């Protein structure tokens, strides 16, 4: 069955973190050549659209940027996020059956509070896109992310950690062996969204067989029950066997099969650093699968199935892991939330977040109101130490989408109280229920 695919392509040809960085200018050049060589844009299924530029409010719906949006995101970041928005609009307006944003720089390591770049990401393209979808097309749309990048999607997980309207599944190389070192099965989300976060760490060396197993045993059964209105694939191509910064064994055929089975509505490109040997073939295979076309001929020039087989213990290990996670998901309404999050009025957590790309260490102290009517307003104190000695102190008051009146009022009062404080801090009010974003410096 053939389907139309809206394609937004933004290779950011004049931007890189540094000339030798893996996330560099020519990352998507070979993909573009391969798309032309395959004649994809001449096929009736494909419609190309230019990216727009994400506005400041687009970014602020997903993030609190310290000190400001302009300080943490340049034009390429805003166009990359705008590319995801353009793809989403094509899908949501029923102009196409599917949409794909092949854009860079990527986004899935950018958390709700942003002090700089983490894991090559400054702002989270797919979260900015999802917030645009909910703002423009309906607050109650159910959104599901399946992140298939080799790195744990810790940024997207953080943004939706306590959001009952979003399911976030990340499948990635085990955090004990790869940046960012998180994404374990016991990370299951906050008090208002328990088991709305699911993490599947794959052993290094996992190939097509393991990836499909996780899809069949966990992802598809969960999606069948969750029934999202919009299914987003955060598509990282760095599980490929030739990727220079990971240790996985997935092929272009494996990625295309995964995509055909997952059948996402919108795809947003993440990582993938084998820019000549893998990206052109993985991306073309995925696009053909999205369009419902035959992708059987797409093969890497150096493909050799010898050496790509998984070690024997990996599939039984993953079966066991998926069975446990599926049970947690199915039993989520009977989970002992008091045991997990306490029975008081507030749940509190403290963490340290490391920004490898930006060289920043952030300390966070977060309090979430345990509210019976909504997911609860939040107060986050964040102190970021930059490697050049600058220190930023920020306080964020976050009112979630569909917040109850009491949480909106209490959040607003906390904000006003905080702007009277004597210590020099940036105070942010992110009111998603009112679509209102304020920044004051005390």
Buried residues in 112-142 as b, exposed as e (16+ CB within 10 A): bbbbbbbbbbbbbbbbbbbbbbbeeeeeebb
**What's the min distance (Å) between Cβ of 215 and Zn ion?**
18
Segment interacting with Zn ion (CB under 5 A) among 89-97, 136-144, 160-168, 397-405 = 397-405
Q: Which residue is nearest to Zn ion (CB)?
A: 271
Beta-bridge mates of residue 295: none
**What's the min distance (Å) between Cβ of 120 and Zn ion?**
8
Query: In terms of CB distance, is 237 or 418 closer to Zn ion?
Result: 237
Residues touching Zn ion, count (CB under 5 A): 11
Cα–Cα distance, 436 to 57 (Å, whole number): 9
Report the site for Zn ion in 140-169 (rule: CB under 5 A): 149-151
Q: Per the structure block, which two tokens stand in for 308?
A: 């790509």
Segment interacting with Zn ion (CB under 5 A) among 74-82, 184-192, 311-319, 404-412 = 404-412
Query: In terms of CB distance, is 38 or 147 closer to Zn ion?
Result: 147
Per CB under 5 A, 397 contacts Zn ion: no
Query: In terms of CB distance, is 150 or 214 closer to Zn ion?
Result: 150
Q: Per the structure block, which two tokens stand in for 98?
A: 């599917």
* Order of strands across the sheet that contains 391-399: 346-355, 360-369, 378-386, 391-399, 426-431, 436-441
Residues assigned a catalytic role? 109
Query: In terms of CB distance, is 89 or 149 closer to Zn ion?
Result: 149
**What's the min distance (Å) between Cβ of 356 and Zn ion?**
12
Report the site for Zn ion in 267-306 (rule: CB under 5 A): 271
**What's the min distance (Å) between Cβ of 182 and Zn ion?**
13
**What's the min distance (Å) between Cβ of 51 and Zn ion?**
21
Per CB under 5 A, 48 contacts Zn ion: no
Helix (H, G, I), strand (E, B) or coil at 115: coil
Report the site for Zn ion in 208-237 (rule: CB under 5 A): 236
Cα–Cα distance, 72 to 68 (Å, whole number): 7
Angstrom CA distances, 290 to 49, 53, 108, 265, stand at 16, 25, 21, 9
Query: In terms of CB distance, is 98 or 151 closer to Zn ion?
Result: 151
Per CB under 5 A, 105 contacts Zn ion: no
Give the count of alpha carbons within 13 A of 116, CB side only: 19
Cα–Cα distance, 233 to 300 (Å, whole number): 22
**What's the min distance (Å) between Cβ of 234 and Zn ion?**
10
Angstrom CA distances, 224 to 152, 185, 217, 330, stand at 23, 20, 12, 12
Site string for Zn ion, 16-45 (x = CB under 5 A): ------------------------------
**What's the min distance (Å) between Cβ of 173 and Zn ion?**
9
Measure the CA angle with vertex 50, ends 89 and 90; round to 5°.
20
Per CB under 5 A, 407 contacts Zn ion: yes
Site string for Zn ion, 343-382 (x = CB under 5 A): ----------------------------x-xx--------
CA torsion 93-96-101-102 (nearest 10°) is -160
Site string for Zn ion, 232-271 (x = CB under 5 A): ----x-x--------------------------------x
Cα–Cα distance, 109 to 119 (Å, whole number): 6
Beta strands 391-399 and 378-386, pairing class: antiparallel
Cα–Cα distance, 261 to 39 (Å, whole number): 24
153 preceded by a cis bond (ω within 30 of 0)? no
Query: In terms of CB distance, is 118 or 439 closer to Zn ion?
Result: 118
Query: In terms of CB distance, is 59 or 121 closer to Zn ion?
Result: 121
Q: How many residues does the chain have?
A: 442
180 preceded by a cis bond (ω within 30 of 0)? yes
Per CB under 5 A, 404 contacts Zn ion: yes
Contacts with Zn ion by CB under 5 A lie at: 149-151, 236, 238, 271, 371, 373-374, 404, 407
């Amino acid at each position: 069955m053939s389907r139309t695919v809206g394609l937004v392509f933004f290779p950011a040809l004049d931007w890189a973190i540094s000339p030798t960085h893996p996330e560099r200018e020519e990352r998507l050049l070979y993909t573009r050549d391969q798309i032309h060589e395959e004649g994809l844009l001449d096929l009736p299924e494909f419609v190309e659209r230019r990216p727009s530029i994400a506005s400041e409010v687009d970014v602020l719906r997903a993030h609190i940027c310290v000190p400001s949006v302009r300080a943490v995101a340049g034009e390429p970041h805003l166009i990359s996020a705008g590319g995801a928005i353009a793809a989403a609009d094509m899908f949501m307006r029923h102009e196409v059956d599917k949409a794909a944003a092949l854009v860079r720089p990527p986004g899935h390591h950018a958390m709700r509070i942003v002090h700089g770049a983490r894991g090559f990401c400054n702002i989270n393209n797919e979260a900015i896109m999802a917030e645009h979808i909910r703002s423009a097309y309906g607050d109650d749309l159910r959104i599901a992310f399946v992140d298939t990048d080799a790195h744990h999607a810790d940024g997207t997980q953080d943004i939706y950690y306590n959001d009952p309207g979003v399911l976030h599944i990340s499948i990635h190389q085990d955090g004990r062996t790869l940046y960012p070192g998180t994404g374990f099965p016991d990370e299951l989300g906050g008090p208002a969204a328990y088991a709305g976060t699911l993490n599947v760490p794959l052993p290094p060396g996992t190939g097509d067989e393991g990836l499909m197993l996780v899809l069949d045993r966990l992802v598809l059964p969960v999606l069948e029950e969750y029934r999202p209105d919009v299914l987003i694939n955060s598509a990282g191509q760095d599980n490929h066997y030739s990727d220079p910064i990971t240790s996985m064994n997935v092929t272009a055929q494996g990625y295309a099969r995964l995509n055909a089975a997952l059948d996402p509505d919108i795809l947003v490109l993440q990582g993938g650093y084998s820019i000549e040997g893998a990206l052109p073939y993985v991306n073309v295979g995925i696009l053909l699968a999205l369009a419902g076309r035959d992708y059987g001929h797409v093969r890497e020039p150096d493909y050799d199935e010898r050496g790509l087989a998984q070690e024997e213990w990996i599939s039984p290990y993953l079966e066991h892991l998926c069975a446990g996670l599926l049970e947690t998901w199915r039993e989520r309404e009977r989970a002992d939330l008091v045991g997990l999050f306490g029975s008081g009025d507030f749940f509190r957590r403290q963490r340290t977040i490391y920004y490898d790309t930006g060289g920043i260490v952030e300390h966070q102290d977060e309090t979430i109101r345990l509210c019976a009517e909504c997911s609860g307003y939040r107060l986050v104190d964040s102190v970021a130490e930059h490697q050049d000695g600058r220190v930023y102190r920020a306080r964020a008051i976050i009112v979630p989408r569909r917040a109850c009146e009491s949480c909106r009022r209490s959040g607003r009062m906390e904000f006003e109280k905080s702007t009277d404080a004597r210590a020099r801090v940036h105070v942010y009010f992110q009111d998603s229920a009112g679509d209102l974003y304020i920044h004051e410096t005390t």
